[in-house]
């Protein structure tokens, strides 16, 4: 069974940093592209970042709103994806979801974790 479990969320002051982790199991992590999405309280969904597998080039993508502040990474040996969030702003407050691509070929809606809440407030 595929499982994705996010952790690392919590309350943090503006300007500080936080690192989210996504521990996975039930599939060969190194083969799959991984993404992070978020949802602010009472708002819609927003894509945050994307990490290609090594077989797909290993490159990354970011939403404009987080470029230069957030870094996506992965440890294929541990089957964990990370999202390092620096210079946090109040507008980064959201539930953050880790998502595995649906297959090796396409994102296709993906398989979603349950999310971890990040609250940025003084």
Partner 1 sequence: EIVMTQSPATLSVSPGERATLSCRATQSVSNNLAWYQQKPGQAPRPLIFGASTRATGIPARFSGSGSGAEFTLTISSLQSEDFAVYYCQQYHDWPWTFGQGTKVEIK
14 part of the interface to partner 1, by CB under 8 A: no
Contacts to partner 1 from residues 56-75, by CB under 8 A: 61, 63-64
Q: How far apart are CA 81 and CA 3, in angstroms?
A: 13
Residue of 50, 81, 82, 88 interacting with partner 1 (CB under 8 A)? 50
Q: Which is nearer to partner 1, 57 or 109 (CB)?
A: 109
108 part of the interface to partner 1, by CB under 8 A: yes
Q: Which is nearer to partner 1, 42 or 122 (CB)?
A: 42
Q: At 56, phi and psi to the nearest 5? A: -100, 10
Residue of 7, 8, 47, 84 interacting with partner 1 (CB under 8 A)? 47
Provide the residue count of the chain. Answer: 122
CB of residue 107 vs partner 1: minimum separation in angstroms?
A: 4
7 part of the interface to partner 1, by CB under 8 A: no
Three-class secondary structure of residue 70 per DSSP: strand
Encoded tokens for 22: 């996504």
| Count of chain residues binding partner 1 (CB under 8 A) | 20
Q: How far apart are CA 44 and CA 70, in angstroms?
A: 20
CA 78 to chain centre: 16
């Amino acid at each position: 069974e595929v499982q994705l479990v996010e952790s690392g969320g919590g309350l943090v002051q503006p300007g500080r940093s936080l690192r989210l982790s996504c521990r996975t199991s039930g599939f060969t992590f190194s083969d799959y592209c991984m993404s992070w999405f978020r949802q602010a309280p009472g708002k819609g969904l927003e894509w945050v970042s994307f990490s290609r597998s090594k077989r797909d080039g290993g490159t990354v993508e970011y939403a404009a709103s987080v470029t230069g502040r957030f870094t996506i990474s992965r440890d294929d040996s541990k089957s964990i994806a990370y999202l390092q969030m620096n210079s946090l702003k109040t507008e980064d407050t959201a539930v953050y979801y880790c998502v595995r691509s649906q297959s090796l070929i396409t994102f296709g809606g993906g398989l979603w974790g349950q999310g971890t809440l990040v609250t940025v407030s003084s």
